[in-house]
Amino acid sequence: MEFLDSLILGFSTAATPTNLLFCLIGALLGTLIGVLPGIGPTATLAILLPITFFLPPLAALIMLAGIFYGAQYGGSTTAILVNLPGEASSVVTALDGYQMAKQGRAGAALAIAALGSFFAGTVSTIGLAVAGPTLASFALDFGPAEYFSLTVFGLLCATILASGSVIKAIGMIGIGLLLGWVGTDVNSGSERLTFGAVELFDGIEFVVIAVGLFGIAEIITNLESPETRGLIATKITRLWPTREDFRKAWPAVLRGTGLGTFLGILPGGGATLSAFSAYTLEKKVSRRPQEFGRGAIQGVAGPEAANNAGAQSSFIPLLTLGIPSNAVMAMLLGAMTIHGITPGPSVMHNQPDLFWGLIASMWIGNLMLLVINLPLIGLWVKLLTVPYRLLYPAILLFCCVGVYSVSNRAFDVALAVGFGFLGYLFRKAKCEPGPLLLGFVLGPLLETNLRRAMLISQGSPTVFIERPISLVLLLASLALFILLLVPAIRKTREDAFVEEEA
């Protein structure tokens, strides 16, 4: 009964006119940026973070969450129709989706993608509602030692599951940790890494780094590429899949939902890893793997279900433990902090309307996406004709205004532009900026809990191995570190992302 009461509270909170409006705005914006290749959900969340200052906390979180999972829907539309994935997680959808479109089956591919995403989103939202209270109650037993060990475990998971080189991922996390330590030490009052600059005494704002590394860097990177967007000439005549399509697709949807929900929970996981893993799984279990890449509907159903399930379940560690599992969740953690919300198990107990309202809004948002995506496919495709020479200057101006509005300082705008160029250089060097942002967010958490644990134990480091939960997390971290050194594991990890790089 308590669970049902919580759900009723959530739906009554999420269904207010204000929250419904921002849920719709988030779903529409998410679909839009998913359709338009070049600006992903991470960059969009970074750009829109400043304007959420003026919104109620729950409405802001509902809109930002809607952008994230809405982008998973929108990305599939251009992947199928134009062979141009709007989102990284839609890359594998393009492999078979575009082939289906060329065979005159674009409608079936789009419908299976939308229905599979809706089913996966519903299941993973239920999973979040069921697992959330248990994990949050468990997390109440956590002290500083446990949180320190959990942060170490999360950073190692982020290293293993990040695409690209392990060494580069560790380096990016290290840079993020250093950036998180810039400013005045709250304990000793001494300056750290400020180089005498008064503007850095209070540290670097989260919004400055996020907008620079993801928003501005994304625009600079895209300016290098020629604007080539050829719209499909095939007319979409039939949207509803055949019975045979459903028979082939539903097992893939089920497998993708389960795999995506599991991978989304892991630190470093999320929509992209879930989609690639689901595609690999479908090829492995298929009796006719040779059909993949030539229009197999399982190649659309599995990854699309997995990326949406992964997107939704990645909220679980953030809302229950206060640990972001990927760069997008780090953005949402930043948004919660800006609104004075302390992420973690206390959210559910102190602000149940916010916790359950956000969960209920995800199901409502998924329903909205199903309704607005299929009938409006023509409109979304027409948006692809908007030239980037008009789009990018507007986004850049929006980035600068947003950063300036945080502290009304021109220095922050200059710093964001500097991080933009730094982010561009990282991309050229094939260094993923996501681990940097995780390091920046988790660095202060790591330091604070390390200090608290040492104070409580009066300087004895044995506190980390005397407490059972902390010991288990540290042993798991050690096991992950050893796995990183095993050549076979490293090769398997690199193979999982090989199609993304291709």
Residue 232 falls inside a structural domain: no
Q: SS3 for 443-466, per residue?
A: HHHHHHHHHHHHHHCCCCCCHHHH
Residue 119 falls inside a structural domain: yes
Residues 6 or more apart whose Cβ sits within 8 Å of residue 358: 10, 14, 58, 61, 62, 65, 315, 319
Task: List, for residues 354-376, the tens digit of each pLDDT value.
Answer: 888 888 898 898 888 888 777 77
Range(s) of the domain holding residue 456:
3-227+240-499
The pLDDT assigned to 494 comes to 57
Residue 235 falls inside a structural domain: no
Cβ–Cβ under 8 Å, residues 389 and 176: no
Residue 234 falls inside a structural domain: no
Cβ–Cβ under 8 Å, residues 295 and 99: yes
Q: Which two tokens stand for residue 7?
A: 């759900």
Residue 269 falls inside a structural domain: yes
Task: List, for residues 237-259, the tens digit of each pLDDT value.
Answer: 666 778 888 888 899 999 989 88
Residues 6 or more apart whose Cβ sits within 8 Å of residue 474: 149, 152, 153, 464, 465
Q: SS3 for 253-306, per residue?
A: HHHHHHHHHHHHHCCCCCHHHHHHHHHHHHHHHCCCHHHCCCCCCHHHHHHHHH
| Amino acid, single-letter form, for residue 349 | H
Cα separation, 64 vs 44, whole angstroms: 9
Instruction: Let me know the angle formed at the C-alpha of 482 by 479 and 483, rounded to the nearest 5 degrees.
Output: 85
Count of CB atoms situated within 10 Å of the CB of 309: 36
Residue 427 falls inside a structural domain: yes
- Cα-Cα-Cα-Cα dihedral of 150, 154, 160, 162, to 10°? 180
**Where would I find the H helices in 140-230?**
144-161, 166-180, 206-210, 217-224
Q: What is the mean pLDDT of each run of 10 residues along the chain (502 residues)?
A: 78 91 89 73 76 84 86 77 68 82 82 87 83 76 86 78 74 89 81 84 85 84 68 61 85 90 72 79 83 85 87 81 77 82 77 86 87 75 72 81 80 91 90 83 86 87 88 87 69 54 44
Cα separation, 360 vs 13, whole angstroms: 8
Cβ–Cβ under 8 Å, residues 13 and 357: yes
Number of domains in the chain: 1
Residue 326 falls inside a structural domain: yes
91-102 and 57-81 helices, crossing angle to 10°: 40
Residue 138 falls inside a structural domain: yes
Cα separation, 447 vs 479, whole angstroms: 23
Q: E strand or H helix at 31, and its extent? A: helix 17-35
The pLDDT assigned to 497 comes to 52
Q: C-alpha distances in angstroms, 387 versus 40, 83, 84, 497?
A: 17, 18, 15, 31
For 352-397, give the DSSP string: HHHHHHHHHHHHHHHHHHHHHHTTTHHHHHHGGGS-HHHHHHHHHH
